[in-house]
């Protein structure tokens, strides 16, 4: 217990003889000394919601209720807390207790009516900490007032046209004595608007067409073309996905991939492309399941409530659930209300009129959600067709599946008991209850906890061994023969539903009263706001209807937040700064709008046009304000009066966002794969639009990092622009950027095969800057190319055919092998390696697919695969493997124990999941007359440190592998075009002899004399080099030959072919241009 | 542009040429000259932020030795006689209910197998796993009453680094970088190192800057010749081509920046390349240990395979703080290696053996160079471990009471702060929550944890999320 002697303070009788005012002076000075540090305006603290330096603060009280009842010491909570000896309650919580005399003084003061002393103001000047109060001044803050549509002003300048945006903007500029810049040059304009609307640069052909289009309305036609393009949806989806913290992974320690999250991303793109009315768009995401049951899009939209981070093994289910509901509430506050709700989670908001009660009243709309991943976003017809097909398949396979289930059942039971037993007892009780008896909140917690049981079910295979295992593999093979009849997997989405029509109660922590759903008190006539009216959900929808009520309120025309937020974000997107600066917080810490009438006019127009998103984009984009040049003929007035360019006297140059930079790097180099328009996320290294790559929260790409992409842990409404030396280093020296330069050089050479440096420079400017270079720029660029043709280094900077990739949870760089790669990496000089003492093969892999047949996807091999000579190959079995699908296996052809020369296949029981990083190894010990041979397989899931190194030993009849004349090949077998590994490959090591698990690469990276080859794909040492020091250089498809450097006159434009010195200089020029500010900015 | 230091723009010509030559390896003379000129240059132009200036700084830099996975307090710094007595029994009911990460709620109490030494002068206890650290007792303030909120590694590591169990807040090192910058402009303000290739829990976001400008994020320094990714000119480019390219980039970017003179971020881009060159020049020198004496190498255990890795990291940290790096963080046991759910004897004896001597070596070396006064060394993990056993011979996570220690940077050595209950389960006297610990570290650096703010989404964000008070008695 505490060292502090716990004073038991008797309730002393009131001290006699003090004048009333003297008493109150004394009492307050005690409170000042002992309490104000944590409970006063002067200290800026109101712990527990209580302030004590104002009479009202004490009478209203804090989170626990009224603190002072004049005349009644026993009912005055603050005094009782001072007297308490309960460690959780007593005040002050730390330090010395109040002395008996001090307590007596306070008690007397309370008994005497708690008169406030004359020397102290009854109400401090700043009333912001007084709890639970919202006054008229609070209500009059612009963001809470109804939207008011004012008359569009008359033209203020001779140049002011009919666009209402310009009427408002020009009126203000005139008032401030500023003149706007003229319209930008057409080249600048098309580059600006194309990037802004689609996230991509215009092609030189598009630029030329626009520059030459002399007919009236050329610009408007351009805008219409862009708004109609898919690029509009792809670009604007990014903005929305940032706001709703969309990502493809769990974001906690295991950071598991979410295989169906992408359907939400596609839903957003689809909705924007179809110009879905904004109110409907919001309704679907907040309450699609309640408002539009049966609509696949609406169901997918509810993913908005499911993008929170998730920890796969947190036993504190209650804590995790609270975190999830907080996240949902905070995101709704930021993205949909523009209010800093999270401040009010622990106390009334200190600056804005948002009560802690409002926070929990908002949470109450969402507290009944049940996150699910098993709901399919499809139409009734699709569902019926699927059910019909499935019924046929189920009937045919019933016996097999039954037997599988029977074998698995004991293992499932064991896994269930173990997983459930790890939770606190109350959670266990909820899980063990029959589902029908669970209260809604119990159903929610049980479902959350049950995910951990499901996680174990998915890993049953590793514990099923022996006979059961053999039988199970056999049954699964039988089952697989019916695969053709099995309907495709339904389009599962991340969604929510609710467990019941009655909702789970919500309480403020440490308080008992249930909080009903209600809209913000500041919008209400009463404080706190009265509970919202909740119409019941439609018949048959097992849901509380609370979210539907919220969605309707959010999208009614009178809602003061929705349209304003959308229009301010639209303005921010095109002018870099919103009409009010914080796109997700309209509170007092921000600034009132620079053009309040314009913001309200836009908001009301948005509603009037039926929430037509594209119409509003068009309105703003076609304004003269947006079309202004960023060069002002006389910028001095603007710079003095409005340095931040809030009033739009010119256009503000702006750096592109991370995704635009990446997309532009591919587009300009001509290898952007525009065919990818949805579906499962691609790898970051693949040249598709960034919006289609996976957002793995804990494994960000360095390029995204240095250019300020958000982390997607919580709602993000704007991108900062930072410049760091790390960014410069990445642009200057990274293999990715060097390769971009080379790819662009190949493009220029392909387009202008006999081009002069001047012509190449001109083309580069057209591609990157959408303009022609000045004579000075042409001369400088051409001189650079000529001068450096001589200086060009011997080899190209990047190995063209090598695609680097970053393996999650692992340092350094790996090799990416695509599905259609046909050429393995061949290690020179490995034909004669000595395998006579047995051998060990190790690698780090991220497999992306296995074959549909049974064939191995080869990680490492030696030999042709011909049965006439020896070979071996380590790989992963295919879906229809005769023994087990998707396991690590070693196949060999060699001398067996019986003296025959034939095949030996070793299947491990170690199943490999797709898209996960693994360390894999196989150590081969040959059989001898005295002992059996053995292959020891080991697999370690690198995505989760909790996972042990799994080892499986398989008996082997191999006695020897006679020499064959083939080199070791990585990622495939040299002679086979179908065996190629698909995925990422790293740290491949071959050692002589069977290594024990303690010597494996996974635990020991020290060099060993037994190492025969070690390939790490690191840029530092050269991606194709051999780190074992034995010089077994890799090459694509054929052994590296030390050919003398014969210089070609002209290089092939195909990737992989060497560049000529002139083109290496051209590549360096392109690379420099890609480092340039003009490429990275729009003006 | 939020970072004003990026606005610094120097006359590029002469300076860059000089640096450029140095970067291309003209010789060690150039390096030395460069270092002499750049060391201890106050970060000119760094504006004084709110929360800076009101507190007199005691420490100039921090070395945070992070034992990832959670070291066991009752086997290292906090002996519990009652635990020995009750070993094998269930946790007495008087200790209340406990949620454990792995759910072995009813597991028996596990005795500590350690021999303990009480330091004659200070009275501090150290187990036989950390004799060298114990030898530095007079410089060490042991805090036995640490508390955090994260039950699992992810939340725990996140909180011990960012203050929040949920991702999305800047790391402590980033806040320090934002608050007071660094005295060396050729190296990052905030450097992170780890002892093996595994990923630290949650990945690089552990030292990320979240909503603070990216320039404040920790920079991971790796071993080998290229300590920072993409630092060196690739072989395939070569010095001549690189030089030509850099000249061209400089011209392109100066042309563009010249058109928009009031857009400071464009000159910041030029400055970004400038600093990259300087980093290119200095960073390889920092990681080159050739100049260290044999005695120093021995002190850190570089002559022994067991201690070599951590010894190198500790020695590197000294070299960095010497050069003005503000915040160095070493992850020891990266990838939750301290997480001894089973076989704690095996696990902790290996980890302690690899860490004890190097860490003590660091303290001694800093002291002998007069650097300990201005360098705060912090040792600890994301949580401690339970007195209850797990799997018979391991211990589960325990965020409710665990030990850390601090030394140097104004901290009064030899004291033992706070206590846990009789079994080491919960913090009892002077509980110091992560927020309090962070506030204390910031306070020692002269940063007011409630004063330093950054406006994000229009709201003031603080390094300790509006909580936490510095434990000022740590200075004695």
Lowest mean per-residue pLDDT among A933-947, B19-33, B222-236: B19-33
Interface confidence: ipTM more than 0.85: no
SS3 content of chain A, % helix, strand, coil (to 5): 40, 10, 50
Quick: pLDDT tens for A452-461.
999 999 888 8
Mean pLDDT of all residues in B361-379: 98
Quick: pLDDT tens for B121-130.
999 999 999 9
Give the separation between CA A302 and CA B133, rounded to whole angstroms. 55
Q: What is the pLDDT of residue A990?
A: 95
Closest partner CB to A727 (pick from B154, B235, B272): B272
Given CB atoms, is A251 within the 8 Å cutoff of chain B? yes
Q: What is the pLDDT of residue B171?
A: 97
Residue B3 has pLDDT above 50, yes or no: no
Given CB atoms, is A80 within the 8 Å cutoff of chain B? no
- B226–A1020: do the CB atoms touch at under 8 Å? yes
A739 versus B264: the higher-pLDDT residue is A739
Percentage of residues of chain A with pLDDT beyond 70? 92
Quick: pLDDT tens for A926-953.
999 888 899 999 999 888 777 888 999 9
Give the separation between CA B240 and CA B376, rounded to whole angstroms. 43
Q: Which of A112, A115, A130, A135 is nearest to A53 (CA)?
A: A130
User: Taking a C-beta distance cutoff of 8 angstroms, is the pair B434, B159 a contact?
Assistant: yes
- A contact residues 1005-1034, partner B, Cβ 8 Å cutoff: 1005, 1019-1020, 1022
Q: What residues of B are in contact with residue A726 (Cβ under 8 Å)?
A: 188, 214, 219, 228-229, 276
Q: What is the pLDDT of residue A1005?
A: 67
Residue B47 has pLDDT above 80, yes or no: no
Q: What is the pLDDT of residue A325?
A: 97
Q: What is the pLDDT of residue A10?
A: 39
Q: What is the pLDDT of residue A821?
A: 67
Lowest mean per-residue pLDDT among A192-201, A483-492, A556-565, B452-461: B452-461
Which candidate in A143, A764, A1077 is best for mutational testing of the B interface (most B CBs within 10 A)? A1077
User: Exposed/middle/buried for A753, CB within 10 Å: 0-12, 13-18, 19+?
Assistant: exposed
Given CB atoms, is B154 within the 8 Å cutoff of chain A? yes
Q: What is the pLDDT of residue B421?
A: 97
Angle at the Cα of A1071 (from A1069 to A1072), degrees rounded to 5?
Answer: 65
Q: Which of B328, B183, B459 is nearest to A351 (CA)?
A: B459
Instruction: Please report which confidence band the pLDDT of residue A290 belongs to, taking 50, 70 and 90 as the band edges.
Output: very high
Q: What is the pLDDT of residue A977?
A: 63
User: Exposed/middle/buried for A798, CB within 10 Å: 0-12, 13-18, 19+?
Assistant: buried
Residue B44 has pLDDT above 50, yes or no: no
Q: What residues of A are in contact with residue B253 (Cβ under 8 Å)?
A: 1075-1077
Given CB atoms, is A579 within the 8 Å cutoff of chain B? no
Lowest mean per-residue pLDDT among A129-133, A274-278, B411-415: A129-133
Q: What is the pLDDT of residue A898?
A: 86
Quick: pLDDT tens for B50-65.
889 889 999 999 999 9
In angstroms, the Cα distances linking B108 to B215, B385, B387, B391, B423 are: 49, 14, 9, 10, 12
Mean pLDDT of all residues in A342-349: 83
Which candidate in A649, A728, A799, A1078 is best for mutational testing of the B interface (most B CBs within 10 A)? A728
Residue A3 has pLDDT above 60, yes or no: no
Q: What residues of B are in contact with residue A631 (Cβ under 8 Å)?
A: 259
Alpha-helical regions (H) of B325-433: 344-368
Closest partner CB to B251 (pick from A720, A780, A797): A780
Which candidate in B237, B417, B464 is best for mutational testing of the A interface (most A CBs within 10 A)? B237
Residue B234 has pLDDT above 90, yes or no: no
Residue A886 has pLDDT above 60, yes or no: yes
Quick: pLDDT tens for B6-22.
222 222 223 332 222 22
Q: What residues of A are in contact with residue B100 (Cβ under 8 Å)?
A: 315
Domain locations in chain B as residue ranges? 61-234+281-475
Q: What residues of B are in contact with residue A796 (Cβ under 8 Å)?
A: 236
Give the separation between CA A73 and CA A67, rounded to whole angstroms. 10
Quick: pLDDT tens for B141-192.
999 999 999 999 999 999 999 999 988 899 999 999 999 988 787 888 999 9
Beta-bridge partner residues of B117: B126
Q: What is the pLDDT of residue B42?
A: 33
Q: What residues of A are in contact with residue B240 (Cβ under 8 Å)?
A: 788, 791
User: Exposed/middle/buried for A968, CB within 10 Å: 0-12, 13-18, 19+?
Assistant: buried
Residue A302 has pLDDT above 50, yes or no: yes
User: Taking CB atoms and an 8 Å cut-off, how many pairs form between chains A and B?
Assistant: 253
Q: Does a cis peptide bond (omega within 30 degrees of 0) precede residue A528?
A: yes
Give the separation between CA A814 and CA A971, rounded to whole angstroms. 12
Q: What is the pLDDT of residue B49?
A: 81
Give the separation between CA A954 and CA A949, rounded to whole angstroms. 16
Mean pLDDT of all residues in A571-583: 93
Given CB atoms, is A417 within the 8 Å cutoff of chain B? no
Closest partner CB to B153 (pick from A253, A422, A727): A253
Q: What is the pLDDT of residue A675?
A: 92
Q: Which of B282, B281, B315, B321 is nearest to B297 (CA)?
A: B315
Taking every pair of Cα atoms in chain A, the longest distance, rounded to a whole number of angstroms, is 115
Q: What is the pLDDT of residue A63?
A: 67
Q: What is the pLDDT of residue A20?
A: 67
Mean pLDDT of all residues in A356-385: 94
Q: Which CATH topology does B61-234+281-475 take?
A: Alkaline Phosphatase, subunit A (3.40.720)
Residue A976 has pLDDT above 70, yes or no: no
Q: What is the pLDDT of residue A12?
A: 40
Mean pLDDT of all residues in A536-565: 96
Which candidate in A345, A655, A725 is best for mutational testing of the B interface (most B CBs within 10 A)? A725
Which candidate in A3, A338, A732, A800 is best for mutational testing of the B interface (most B CBs within 10 A)? A732
Q: What is the pLDDT of residue A253?
A: 80
Q: What is the pLDDT of residue B114?
A: 96
CB neighbour list of residue A284: distance below 8 Å, 6 or more residues apart: A271, A291, A292, A295, A297, A298, A300, A301, A302
Q: Which residue has the tokens 């009789």?
A: B422
A255 versus B397: the higher-pLDDT residue is B397
Q: What is the pLDDT of residue A785?
A: 96
Quick: pLDDT tens for B87-134.
999 999 999 889 888 888 789 999 999 999 999 999 999 999 999 999
Lowest mean per-residue pLDDT among A17-31, A97-111, A564-578, B104-118: A17-31
Lowest mean per-residue pLDDT among A376-385, A443-452, A1033-1042: A1033-1042
Give the separation between CA B134 and CA A494, rounded to whole angstroms. 53
- B245–A1072: do the CB atoms touch at under 8 Å? yes
Q: What residues of A are in contact with residue B236 (Cβ under 8 Å)?
A: 738, 793, 795-798
Q: What is the pLDDT of residue A9?
A: 39
Quick: pLDDT tens for A113-151.
888 888 787 766 555 555 557 888 889 999 999 999 999
- A723–B100: do the CB atoms touch at under 8 Å? no
Give the separation between CA A865 and CA A975, rounded to whole angstroms. 8
3-class DSSP state for residue B242? helix
- B contact residues 446-465, partner A, Cβ 8 Å cutoff: 455, 457-460
Q: What is the distance, to the nearest Å, from the Cα of residue B6 to the centroid of all Cα atoms in its chain?
A: 24
Lowest mean per-residue pLDDT among A231-240, A364-373, A585-594, A1020-1029: A1020-1029
- B230–A729: do the CB atoms touch at under 8 Å? yes
Average pLDDT, chain A: 89
Q: Which residue has the tokens 């990266």?
A: B334
User: Taking a C-beta distance cutoff of 8 angstroms, is the pair B258, B271 a contact?
Assistant: no
Residue B25 has pLDDT above 70, yes or no: no
């Amino acid at each position: 217990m505490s060292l502090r002697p716990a004073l038991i303070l008797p309730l002393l009788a009131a001290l006699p003889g003090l004048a009333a005012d003297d008493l109150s002076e004394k009492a307050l000075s005690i409170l000042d000394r002992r309490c104000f540090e944590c409970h006063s305006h002067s200290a800026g603290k109101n712990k527990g919601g209580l302030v004590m330096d104002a009479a009202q603060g004490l009478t209203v009280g804090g989170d626990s209720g009224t603190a002072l009842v004049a005349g009644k010491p026993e009912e005055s909570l603050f005094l009782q807390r001072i007297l308490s000896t309960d460690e959780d309650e007593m005040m002050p919580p730390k330090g010395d207790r109040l002395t008996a005399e001090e307590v007596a003084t306070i008690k007397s003061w309370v008994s005497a009516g708690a008169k406030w002393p004359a020397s102290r103001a009854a109400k401090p000047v700043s009333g912001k900490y007084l709890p639970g109060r919202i006054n008229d001044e609070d209500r009059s803050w612009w963001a809470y007032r109804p939207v008011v549509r004012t008359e569009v002003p008359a033209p203020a300048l001779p140049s002011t046209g009919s666009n209402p945006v310009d009427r408002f903007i020009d009126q203000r500029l005139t008032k401030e004595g500023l003149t706007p810049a003229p319209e930008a040059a057409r080249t600048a304009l098309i580059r600006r608007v194309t990037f802004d609307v689609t996230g991509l640069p215009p092609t030189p052909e598009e630029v030329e067409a626009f520059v030459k289009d002399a007919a009236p309305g050329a610009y408007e036609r351009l805008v219409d073309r862009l708004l109609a393009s898919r690029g509009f949806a792809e670009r604007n989806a990014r903005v929305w996905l940032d706001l709703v913290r969309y990502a493809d992974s769990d974001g906690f320690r295991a950071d598991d991939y979410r295989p169906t999250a992408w359907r939400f991303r596609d839903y957003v793109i689809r909705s924007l492309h179809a110009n879905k009315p904004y109110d409907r768009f919001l309704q679907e995401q907040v309450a699609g399941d309640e408002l539009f049951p049966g609509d696949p899009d609406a169901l997918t939209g509810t993913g908005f409530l499911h993008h929170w981070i998730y920890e796969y093994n947190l036993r504190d289910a209650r804590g995790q659930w609270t975190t999830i509901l907080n996240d949902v509430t905070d995101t709704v506050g930021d993205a949909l209300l523009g209010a800093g709700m999270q401040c009010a989670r622990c106390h009334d908001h200190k600056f804005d009129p948002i009560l802690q009660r409002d926070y929990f009243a908002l949470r109450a709309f969402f507290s009944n959600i049940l996150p699910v991943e098993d709901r399919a976003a499809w139409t009734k017809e699709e569902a019926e067709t699927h059910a019909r097909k499935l019924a046929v398949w189920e009937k045919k396979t019933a016996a097999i599946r039954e037997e599988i289930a029977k074998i698995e059942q004991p293992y499932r039971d064991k896994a269930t008991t173990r997983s459930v037993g790890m939770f606190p007892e109350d959670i266990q009780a909820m899980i063990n209850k029959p589902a029908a008896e669970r209260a809604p909140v119990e159903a929610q917690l049980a479902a959350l906890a049950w995910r951990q049981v499901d996680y174990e079910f998915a890993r049953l295979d590793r514990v099923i061994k022996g006979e059961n295992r053999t039988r199970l593999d056999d049954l699964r093979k039988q089952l697989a023969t019916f695969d053709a009849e099995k309907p495709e997997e339904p389009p599962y989405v991340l969604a929510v539903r609710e467990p019941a029509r009655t909702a789970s109660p919500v309480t403020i922590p440490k308080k008992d009263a249930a909080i009903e759903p209600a809209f913000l008190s500041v919008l209400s006539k009463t404080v706190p706001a009265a509970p919202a009216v909740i119409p019941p959900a439609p018949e048959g929808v097992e849901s509380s209807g609370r979210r539907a009520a919220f969605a309707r309120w959010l999208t009614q025309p009178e809602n003061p937040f929705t349209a304003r937020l959308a229009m301010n974000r639209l303005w921010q997107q095109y002018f870099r700064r919103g009409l009010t600066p914080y796109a997700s917080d309209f509170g007092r810490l921000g600034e009132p709008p620079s053009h309040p009438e314009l913001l309200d006019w836009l908001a009301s127009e948005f509603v009037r046009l039926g929430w037509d998103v594209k119409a509003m984009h068009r309105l703003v984009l076609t304004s003269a304000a947006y079309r202004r040049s960023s060069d002002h003929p006389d910028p001095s007035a603007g710079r003095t009066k409005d340095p931040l360019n809030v009033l739009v006297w010119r256009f503000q140059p702006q750096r592109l966002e991370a995704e635009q930079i990446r997309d532009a790097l591919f587009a300009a180099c001509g290898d952007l794969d525009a065919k990818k328009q949805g579906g499962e996320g691609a790898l970051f290294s693949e040249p598709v639009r960034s919006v289609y790559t996976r957002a793995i929260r804990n494994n960000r790409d360095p390029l995204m990092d240095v250019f300020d992409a958000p982390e997607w842990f919580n709602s993000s409404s704007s991108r900062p622009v930072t410049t760091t030396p790390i960014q410069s280093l990445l642009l200057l020296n990274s293999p990715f950027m060097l390769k971009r330069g080379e790819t662009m050089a190949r493009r220029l050479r392909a387009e202008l095969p006999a081009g002069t440096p001047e012509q190449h420079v001109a083309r580069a400017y057209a591609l990157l800057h959408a303009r022609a270079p000045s004579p000075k720029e042409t001369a400088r660029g051409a001189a650079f190319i000529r001068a450096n043709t001589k200086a060009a280094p011997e080899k190209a900077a990047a190995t063209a055919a090598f695609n680097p990739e970053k393996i999650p949870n692992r340092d350094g760089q790996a090799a990416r092998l695509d599905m259609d790669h046909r050429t393995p990496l061949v290690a020179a000089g490995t034909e004669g390696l000595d395998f006579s003492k047995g051998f060990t093969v190790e690698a780090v892999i991220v497999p992306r697919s296995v074959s549909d047949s049974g064939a191995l996807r080869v990680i490492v091999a030696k030999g042709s695969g011909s049965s006439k000579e020896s070979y071996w190959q380590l790989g992963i079995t295919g879906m229809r493997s005769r023994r087990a699908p998707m396991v690590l296996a070693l196949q060999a052809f060699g001398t067996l124990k019986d003296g025959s020369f034939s095949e030996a296949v070793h299947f491990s029981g170690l199943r490999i999941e797709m898209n996960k990083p693994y360390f894999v190894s196989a150590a081969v010990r040959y059989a001898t007359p005295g002992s059996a041979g053995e292959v020891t397989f080991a697999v370690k899931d690198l995505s989760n440190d909790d996972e042990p190194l799994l080892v499986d030993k398989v008996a082997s009849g191999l006695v020897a592998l006679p020499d064959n004349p083939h080199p070791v090949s990585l990622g495939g077998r040299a002679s086979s075009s179908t065996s190629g590994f698909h995925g990422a490959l790293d740290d491949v090591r071959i050692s002589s002899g069977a290594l024990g698990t303690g010597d494996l690469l996974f635990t020991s990276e020290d060099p060993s004399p037994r190492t025969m080859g070690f390939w790490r794909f690191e840029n530092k040492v050269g991606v194709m080099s051999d780190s074992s020091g034995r010089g077994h250089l890799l090459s694509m498809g054929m052994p590296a030959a030390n050919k003398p450097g014969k210089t070609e006159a002209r290089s092939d434009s195909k990737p992989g072919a060497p560049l000529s010195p002139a083109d290496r200089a051209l590549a360096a020029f392109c690379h420099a241009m890609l480092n340039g500010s003009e490429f990275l900015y729009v003006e | 542009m939020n970072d004003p230091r990026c606005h610094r723009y120097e006359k590029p010509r002469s300076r860059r040429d000089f640096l450029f030559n140095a970067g291309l390896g003209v010789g060690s003379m150039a390096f030395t000259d460069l270092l002499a000129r750049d060391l201890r240059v106050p970060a000119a132009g760094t504006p004084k932020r709110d929360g800076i200036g009101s507190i007199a700084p005691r420490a100039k830099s921090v070395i945070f030795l992070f034992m990832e996975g959670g070291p066991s307090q009752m086997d290292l710094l906090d002996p519990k006689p009652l635990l020995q007595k009750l070993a094998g029994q269930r946790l007495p009911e008087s200790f209340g209910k406990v949620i454990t990460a792995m759910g072995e709620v009813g597991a028996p109490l596990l005795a500590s197998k350690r021999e303990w030494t009480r330091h004659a002068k200070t009275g501090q206890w150290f187990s036989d796993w950390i004799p060298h650290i114990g030898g530095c007792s007079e410089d060490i303030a042991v805090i036995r009453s640490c508390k955090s909120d994260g039950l699992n590694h992810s939340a725990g590591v996140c909180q011990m680094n960012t203050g929040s169990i949920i991702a999305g807040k800047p790391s402590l090192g980033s806040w320090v970088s934002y608050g007071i910058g660094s005295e060396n402009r050729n190296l990052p303000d905030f450097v992170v190192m780890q002892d093996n290739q595994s990923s630290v829990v949650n990945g690089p976001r552990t030292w990320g800057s979240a909503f603070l400008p990216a320039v404040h994020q920790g920079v991971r320094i790796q071993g080998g010749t290229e300590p920072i990714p993409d630092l060196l000119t690739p072989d395939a480019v070569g010095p001549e081509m690189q030089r030509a390219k850099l000249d061209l980039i400089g011209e392109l970017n100066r042309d563009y920046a010249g058109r928009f003179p009031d857009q400071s971020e464009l000159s910041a881009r030029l400055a970004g390349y400038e600093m990259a060159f300087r980093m290119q020049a200095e960073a390889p020198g920092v990681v080159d240990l050739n100049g260290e004496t044999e005695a120093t190498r021995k002190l850190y255990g570089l002559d022994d395979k067991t201690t070599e890795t951590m010894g190198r990291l500790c020695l590197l940290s000294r070299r960095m703080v010497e050069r003005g790096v503000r915040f160095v963080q070493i992850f020891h046991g990266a990838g939750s290696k301290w997480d001894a759910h089973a076989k704690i004897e095996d696990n902790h004896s290996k980890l302690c053996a690899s860490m004890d001597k190097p860490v003590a070596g660091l303290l001694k070396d800093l002291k002998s160079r007069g650097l300990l006064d201005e360098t705060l060394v912090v040792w600890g993990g994301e949580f401690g471990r339970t007195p209850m056993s797990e799997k018979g011979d391991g211990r589960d996570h325990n965020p409710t009471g665990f030990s850390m220690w601090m030394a140097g940077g104004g901290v009064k050595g030899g004291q033992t702060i706070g206590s846990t209950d009789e079994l080491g389960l919960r913090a009892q006297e002077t509980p110091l929550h992560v927020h309090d610990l962070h506030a204390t570290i910031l306070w020692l650096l002269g940063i007011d944890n409630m004063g330093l703010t950054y406006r994000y989404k229009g709201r003031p964000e603080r390094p300790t999320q509006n909580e936490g008070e510095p434990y000022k008695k740590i200075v004695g």
